[in-house]
Structure 1
Amino acid sequence: MADQTPNPMIPGRRIKLNVGGRFFETTVSTLHSAGPDSLLAALSNRPFLPRSNPIFIDRDPEIFSVLLSLLRSNRLPSTSLRRFSIQELAEEALYYGVESRLRSASLPSSLRGIDASIVDTIRPASDAVPSTFSAGEDGSLWIAHGGQISIYDPYLSYTAAVRTHLDDITSICRVWPEIAAIGSESTSGLHIYDLFSGHYTGSVHWTDQDDPRIYKARVSAIANSPDSIFVSFDCPHRENSVLVIDKLTLRVTSELTRQSGSAAKNTVPGKLSWLPETGLIIGSAVTCGAFGYSGYIRIWDPRSKEVVWETNEPGSGRSSRFGDSFADIDVDTDDSILFKICSKSGDLAMADVRKLGDDPWVYMEDTNPSMRETSYSGNDVHLHCYKRQVFVGKDGGLEVWSRQNGSYETIMPLEISDTENRRPEVCFKRNYVDKAEDAERGMIKRIEGGGERLFVSRENVEGIEVWESSNHSGIIPVSP
């Protein structure tokens, strides 16, 4: 009787593989878990005879054993990242078609600032003191240092460096996954680079033939929407503007504002944010002098080119905390919630961009008694909203404000018709993210979240710190 070919699709059927001279035995279901388009699934579908030789794969058997363990348990063995680099594992995972499984197992768990810690410091090979950086939604990182941009993938493995025509880079924004819009303090204009190919693609300058004061305009801040790039420019004589630039043509489509920066309320916006829900642009500027902090928050509608709301502190009357000006602001772009940190009291306040009024601020009640009475007066302060957490860098220390109860909808100001006519209490817990020795590393210069990571740079300190939640889901010991 002729030999019958067993059905290769039987999940429990065993299959033998010879990888680089080492023999492995597993099941069809394990190989199918790699995904229908993977090489392993394709090999498991091949018909075979009972006495056929194992399928030979000319690859590294040690790394294959790690990936096979990943398919079996959805976890990486505890020793795998000590034996192999992420780049080595990623290259083999790409060959077998299991890169998505490796990514989900090796990337960090959900970022919680309350238990985050430094897990690494990314240092470019040359000019290691970064001037700025940009974090991607996938946890990847672009670091600007000197006139170069070093690129790191979601595993934070170095992939390439792009040399620009600039001597220094002080602003960088991802306008597409591979396209960077950059600005420099020493060179005028906004410059576009394709970081995947390393090619320069064009520049945009703010000019006005009728106004001789508009020349050598340098970039101060950049924001991005699906169709446009929003850029604030500043001239040597302090004239400044916010321009809207078409992403496809790199042509200026409108000018949201033009002002002379002779006063604090007219200085160039140092931060720009685009709100997906409303399409509004939020710009802010903060200055600190002998008499404390002063600045403004201004919101434009790019469609009408009108200012829809603004506040100046001190002196606008839009805050019940007169004399306690904000030291920095940021916006939760996912929920359209504006946050500010008060310079004297250290209090955190929030406002719903959709319900702004004369005094829209709701002040947080700090539920951590040990951190009350914290003043930010005279300090260099940086505020960053990420994943419904508010991170505050004060000099070298890093704090996080975490919401303790309710959703944003439950903590906005109550309507006038409310019988008690008062605002609800809002409970946030403020904690130090770092340890005392971390705060001594240097003054915090920039904070930005990407993926499930927080990235921090410090003044005149080499590298970018990588902060992750201490409960790392990707490295889980496996019992022998």
Structure 2
Amino acid sequence: MERNSDNALRTQPSDRIKLNVGGKLFETTVSTLRSGGPDSLLAALSNRPRQDLLSDPVFIDRDPEIFSVLLSLLRSNRLPSTSRRFTKQELADEASYYGIESQLKSAMLPSRLSGIDASVVATVRPASDGVVSAFAADDGSGSLWMAHGGQISAYDSNLTHAGTIRTHLDQITSIHRVRPEIAAVGSDTTSGLHFYSLSNGRHVGFADWTDPSDPRIYKARVTAIADSPDSVFSAFDCYHRENCVLVIDKSSLKISSEFARQSGNSSKTMVAGKLTYLPDSGVLVGSAVTSGAFGYSGYVRLWDPRSGTVVWETNEPGSGRSSRFGDSFADVDVDTDESTLFKVCSKSGDLAMADLRKLGEDPWVYLVDKNPSMRNTGGGSDSVIHCYRKQVFVGRDGGLEVWSRVQEREGNVERENKFHEGSYKRNYVDKVVDSERGVITKIEGGGDRLFVCREDSEGIEVWESSSFSGAVSIS
């Protein structure tokens, strides 16, 4: 027993190493340093002769306080609370020096997005032309592209500014990510759909709706953009109200076809303001909403892009496809994960849903909030809606709420694809002080973040869920 103990004492110190960072002495283990990866500077330092690891500390002329944070990260795979004293850029610069950027990026990613536990963690503001005119978030990484004036600023997965390019447009009102570095942009003051590379700022493509046989088709402006794995879809609108959807080949960035053309002679002609592609069915969903002295009106149409035919449509008011005639929707969005369509009613403010796999004459199910502690939300005019991660986020003026799916069981068998008025429950995401910051104009999800833009406000709010909350997400 004594011989084994002696051997343990002799071998234990060999795994230890001392480092002198900026005049402060740190003692850790070789295995901790090597957890940064074989190509990191710290792993290289751990390969010194074992007799030197403790007796001759390596001097590193860097900030010792930030090194303490990074050392804690290597030990636990989490950032300590002391990391809040430093900016993301400061941490990123030091992690880059030591060669452990991937570990830092992983630790800085937010927790799984749960609407009932989300709060504002930051506001991303561009350096100039601070009022955001359009933005697009990446679903996978949570990175952000922000249009402000005629410029586009890119922010990486840690929301660190990655660069800004200037376009030839005075104002960008539509932006969509069609490739990792290619943005499709449009403006309501300039014709055509333009493609820009964010890596070098070059204009790499252009698509314009023209028809030599019809003189009314000129200076067509972009109102909405979506994409599939192979194509880009863009809604175009002319001054005489003629409109259509163009299909652009993703590889060549050239127009391949046109469909959904509407003549400006019709009193009900409206260009689509939203486009969403459904990958499971290959269908494109378009919606349009307008408001005036007589209230709201609009349509939802489902097209087969290959044939250009309408698969299903509804118009409010006037189509008979809603039991609530006169309470037209103020906004519409699609949950591609659940294959469901949601609308928020303009008068009552009620939320309704429809199963896209079972569309009929009146497919709407109006959700009922059974929580007695929730205050009445009132009307739904000026409301915006966004579906993300099987949650439905609704902005009403300045307030933000979330509707989460309730999992139900019948005889120990989970109910699937059976939606009814109690399928979702509502909670408030924000606090009263949050709702006083201004009217919400757009909501979009990316990664495990929610991005919120407000009217005439500079920058975009970033909402994340806390990993320390006791709230349980309903999914």
Q: Give your verdict on TM over 0.5.
A: yes
Which residue of structure 1 lines up, in the alignment, with residue 192 of structure 2? 189
The code of the aligned residue for 1:321 comes to R
The code of the aligned residue for 2:444 comes to E
Q: Cα distance 1:405–1:263, how it changes in 2: closer, same or farther (>3 A)?
A: farther
After TM superposition, give the deviation of residue 47 of structure 1 in Å.
Answer: 4.8
Q: Cα distance 1:37–1:55, how it changes in 2: closer, same or farther (>3 A)?
A: same
After TM superposition, give the deviation of residue 46 of structure 1 in Å.
Answer: 5.0
State how far apart, in whole Å, the 2-side matches of 1:136 and 1:472 are. 25
The code of the aligned residue for 1:454 comes to L
The code of the aligned residue for 1:445 comes to T
Q: Please identify, of 158-167 and 427-436, the stretch whose mean Cα deviation from structure 2 is larger.
A: 427-436
State how far apart, in whole Å, the 2-side matches of 1:386 and 1:225 are. 18
Which residue of structure 2 lines up, in the alignment, with residue 336 of structure 1? 339
Alignment partner of 2:171 out of 168, 172, 175 = 168
State how far apart, in whole Å, the 1-side matches of 2:12 and 2:181 are. 43
State how far apart, in whole Å, the 2-side matches of 1:250 and 1:194 are. 13
Alignment partner of 1:72 out of 75, 78, 87 = 75
| SS of residue in 2 equivalent to 1:266 | coil
Where does 1:54-453 land on structure 2 (aligned, <5 Å)? 54-82=57-85, 84-137=86-139, 138-261=141-264, 263=266, 265-371=268-374, 374-377=377-380, 379-406=381-408, 410=415, 412-413=417-418, 424-453=420-449
After TM superposition, give the deviation of residue 271 of structure 1 in Å.
Answer: 0.1
State how far apart, in whole Å, the 2-side matches of 1:139 and 1:23 are. 37
State how far apart, in whole Å, the 2-side matches of 1:15 and 1:345 are. 67
The code of the aligned residue for 2:276 comes to S
| SS of residue in 2 equivalent to 1:355 | coil
Contact 1:242 1:255 in 2 (8 A): yes
The code of the aligned residue for 2:157 comes to P
Question: For each residue in 1:297-350, what CA deviation from the matched residue of structure 2 results, as whole angstroms up to 9, or x when unmatched?
Answer: 111111222211111112222223333222211011223221111223322222
Percent identical residues = 69
The code of the aligned residue for 1:313 comes to E
State how far apart, in whole Å, the 1-side matches of 2:250 and 2:294 are. 41
Q: Cα distance 1:79–1:310, how it changes in 2: closer, same or farther (>3 A)?
A: same
Contact 2:330 2:346 in 1 (8 A): yes
State how far apart, in whole Å, the 2-side matches of 1:194 and 1:444 are. 29
Q: Cα distance 1:265–1:320, how it changes in 2: closer, same or farther (>3 A)?
A: same
Q: Cα distance 1:452–1:16, how it changes in 2: closer, same or farther (>3 A)?
A: same
After TM superposition, give the deviation of residue 372 of structure 1 in Å.
Answer: 6.5
State how far apart, in whole Å, the 2-side matches of 1:424 and 1:159 are. 45
State how far apart, in whole Å, the 1-side matches of 2:39 and 2:310 are. 51
| SS of residue in 2 equivalent to 1:351 | strand
| SS of residue in 2 equivalent to 1:345 | coil
| SS of residue in 2 equivalent to 1:366 | coil
Task: Name stretches of at least 5 consecutive residues in structure 2 with no aligned partner.
Answer: 1-10, 470-475
Question: For each residue in 1:105-159, what CA deviation from the matched residue of structure 2 results, as whole angstroms up to 9, or x when unmatched?
Answer: 2232122222222222222222111111112232222221111112222222223
The code of the aligned residue for 1:462 comes to E
After TM superposition, give the deviation of residue 466 of structure 1 in Å.
Answer: 1.6
State how far apart, in whole Å, the 1-side matches of 2:206 and 2:256 are. 15
Contact 1:346 1:373 in 2 (8 A): no
Q: What TM-score do you get using the length of structure 1 for normalisation? A: 0.88
Q: Cα distance 1:366–1:462, how it changes in 2: closer, same or farther (>3 A)?
A: same
Which residue of structure 2 lines up, in the alignment, with residue 465 of structure 1? 461
Which residue of structure 2 lines up, in the alignment, with residue 420 of structure 1? none
Task: Name stretches of at least 5 consecutive residues in structure 1 with no aligned partner.
Answer: 1-8, 414-422, 474-480
The code of the aligned residue for 1:461 comes to S
Contact 2:248 2:256 in 1 (8 A): yes
State how far apart, in whole Å, the 1-side matches of 2:13 and 2:303 are. 59
| SS of residue in 2 equivalent to 1:211 | coil
State how far apart, in whole Å, the 1-side matches of 2:72 and 2:317 are. 60
Question: For each residue in 1:391-449, what CA deviation from the matched residue of structure 2 results, as whole angstroms up to 9, or x when unmatched?
Answer: 11122222211223349x83645xxxxxxxxx745342222222223222222111111
Q: Please identify, of 144-153 and 168-177, the stretch whose mean Cα deviation from structure 2 is larger.
A: 144-153
State how far apart, in whole Å, the 1-side matches of 2:13 and 2:25 are. 20
| SS of residue in 2 equivalent to 1:25 | strand
After TM superposition, give the deviation of residue 57 of structure 1 in Å.
Answer: 4.3
Q: Cα distance 1:472–1:222, how it changes in 2: closer, same or farther (>3 A)?
A: farther
Runs (4 or more) in structure 1 with deviation over 6 Å come to: 9-12
State how far apart, in whole Å, the 1-side matches of 2:267 and 2:431 are. 35
Question: For each residue in 1:256-292, what CA deviation from the matched residue of structure 2 results, as whole angstroms up to 9, or x when unmatched?
Answer: 2110245574310000011122221100001112222
The code of the aligned residue for 2:415 comes to T
- Number of aligned pairs? 454
The code of the aligned residue for 2:324 comes to R
Q: Cα distance 1:403–1:261, how it changes in 2: closer, same or farther (>3 A)?
A: farther
Which residue of structure 1 lines up, in the alignment, with residue 473 of structure 2? none
State how far apart, in whole Å, the 2-side matches of 1:39 and 1:335 are. 46
Q: Cα distance 1:393–1:43, how it changes in 2: closer, same or farther (>3 A)?
A: same
| SS of residue in 2 equivalent to 1:323 | coil
